[in-house]
């Protein structure tokens, strides 16, 4: 299972409707609102990076209300 975090900056006055639409995407395992430069952080899990790419490109980025995103890939390097 691969995992990424996505930071989202929402368009003004679109945050609530954006959150409702994102909640319908099954690969989003967690979502939290933020204070600061970004409005939301998503935790996305899928079987592999190709599946994550599909979720991001075909589902998340098509949701109305997203101004910009930044994706952080979780590394499997043991500590």
Strands 40-46 and 2-10: antiparallel
Ordered by where they begin, the domains of the chain are 2-73 (3.30.70.920)
* Token couple for 77: 């390097």
Element (H, E) at 18: helix 15-22
DSSP bridge partners of 77: none
Distance CA 62, CA 69 (A): 12
- Report pTM: 0.92
Task: Express each pLDDT in 2-45 by its tens digit.
Answer: 999 999 999 989 999 999 999 999 999 999 999 999 999 999 99
Task: Express each pLDDT in 56-73 by its tens digit.
Answer: 999 999 999 999 999 999
């Amino acid at each position: 299972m691969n995992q990424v975090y996505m930071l989202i900056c929402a368009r003004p006055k679109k945050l609530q409707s954006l959150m409702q639409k994102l909640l319908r995407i099954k690969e989003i395992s967690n979502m939290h609102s933020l204070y600061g430069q970004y409005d939301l952080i998503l935790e996305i899990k899928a079987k592999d990076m190709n599946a994550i790419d599909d979720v991001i490109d075909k589902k998340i980025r098509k949701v109305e209300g997203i101004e910009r995103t930044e994706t952080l890939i979780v590394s499997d390097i043991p500590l």
